[in-house]
């Protein structure tokens, strides 16, 4: 029973049972938090050698409450919400699960692109409101033959490109890592720069990591092709939300689909809530059942690998 021995691993937010089972099979006492409330978790953290978190992250104050901590596992690719400087100062390893949920995120990105191009939410509302004549003026467009611009070309973007090419779209990508030859292997052209990509893409899909100010600020959004579609399944901080809401309200963009926000959840009064032709989902890109299983198992294995290699005795504070 969990109460018979000190907690080894605190799971800050629920993960799939397959991951918890793997941790327990390895002999760890696991506590799954009802919510990521530091005050409620201090007693559990005081003995924990491992923590697994999702978008709640793990800050310096939480690390201070965990003197035995050896490893922090991020359930997913992002480690933005983990205080990496504090972890480095303590010698705490930080591990993540790149690629484990890539297919799930890619499928949501494609779903949002299709939904925006076909005005699905408007069509659904029209039927429910008995406005069958909506179809006569529907703003649906075909995607075949249109240009998809990918910002970033990691595991998710590559899957999005493959699906887009299969339906007849042209695809170009802006990547700091993949050169033109590598992109060509995937049937993708290399964009000369962000401004050029935005100016000619019918659909823009974001797959990068923020580096300070929003990548798509008011100026960048103003430079997008009139009538374009924007999809963001990467990081909310990549987009100036007020500028996007304004562009949609003025009809400069046809539609947008967002799965991520800054902050999360979006605050009441966020201008996005009043924007037309906008589909919002609650950061579910990586939450397909299969992806949740893969990610939970992957983060459990990564955490166990660090613990197995650590020389720290069980429940003893790490020497500095």
For the question of residue 21 being annotated catalytic, the response is no
Task: Determine contact, residues 104/286, Cβ cutoff 8 Å.
Answer: yes
Give the contacts of 286 (CB within 8 A, at least 6 positions apart).
Answer: 76, 100, 101, 104, 105, 292, 295
Q: What is the DSSP letter of 251?
A: T
Task: Tell me which of 264, 290, 305, 314 is the catalytic residue.
Answer: 264
Is 149:194 a contact under the CB 8 Å cutoff? no
Q: Is 239 helix (H, G, I), strand (E, B) or coil?
A: strand
Rounded Cα distance between 303 and 138, Å, is 51
Q: How deeply is 263 buried, as exposed, middle or buried, from its count of CB atoms within 10 A (0-12, 13-18, 19+)?
A: exposed
Cα(first)–Cα(last) distance of the chain, in Å? 32
Residues 6+ apart with CB under 8 A from 219: none
Query: Which residues is 173 bridged to in the sheet?
Result: 150, 190
In the residue annotation, 264 being an active-site residue is answered as yes
The DSSP code for 80 is T
The string of DSSP codes covering 144-201 is: TTPEEEEE--SHHHHHHHHHHHHTT-EEEEE-SS--HHHHHHTT-EEPS-HHHHHHH-
**Exactly one of 54, 235, 294, 297 is catalytic; which is it?**
235
177 tagged catalytic: no
Catalytic residue from among 146, 283, 294, 297: 283
Tokens (6 digits) for 104? 């799930």
Structure tokens at 142: 């075909």
By annotation, the residues acting in catalysis are 235, 264, 283
């Amino acid at each position: 029973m969990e109460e018979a021995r000190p907690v080894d691993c605190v799971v800050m937010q629920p993960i799939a049972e397959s991951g918890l089972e793997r941790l327990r099979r390895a002999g760890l006492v696991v506590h799954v938090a009802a919510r990521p409330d530091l005050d409620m978790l201090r007693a559990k953290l005081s003995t924990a050698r491992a923590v697994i978190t999702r978008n709640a992250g793990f800050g310096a104050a939480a690390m201070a409450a965990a003197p035995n901590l050896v490893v922090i596992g991020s359930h997913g690719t992002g480690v933005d919400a983990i205080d990496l400087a504090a972890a480095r100062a303590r010698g705490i390893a930080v591990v993540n699960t790149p690629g484990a949920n890539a297919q799930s995120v890619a499928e949501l990105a494609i779903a949002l692109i299709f939904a925006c191009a076909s005005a699905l939410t408007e069509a659904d509302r029209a039927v429910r409101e008995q406005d069958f004549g909506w179809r006569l003026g529907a703003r649906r467009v075909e995607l075949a033959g249109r240009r998809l611009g990918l910002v970033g070309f990691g595991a998710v973007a590559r899957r999005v490109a493959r699906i887009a090419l299969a339906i007849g779209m042209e695809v170009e990508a802006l990547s700091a890592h993949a050169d033109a030859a590598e992109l060509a292997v995937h049937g993708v052209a290399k964009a000369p720069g962000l401004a050029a990509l935005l100016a000619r893409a019918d659909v823009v899909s974001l797959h990068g990591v923020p580096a300070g100010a929003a990548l798509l600020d008011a100026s960048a959004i103003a430079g997008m092709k009139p009538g374009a579609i924007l999809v963001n399944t990467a990081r909310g901080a990549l987009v100036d939300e007020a500028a996007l809401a304004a562009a949609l309200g003025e009809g400069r963009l046809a539609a947008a689909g967002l799965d991520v926000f800054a902050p999360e959840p979006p605050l009441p009064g966020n201008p996005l809530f009043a924007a037309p032709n906008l589909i919002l989902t609650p950061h579910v890109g990586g939450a397909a059942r299969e992806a949740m299983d893969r990610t939970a198992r992957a983060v459990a294995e990564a955490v166990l690998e660090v613990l197995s290699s650590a020389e720290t005795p069980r429940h003893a504070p790490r020497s500095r």
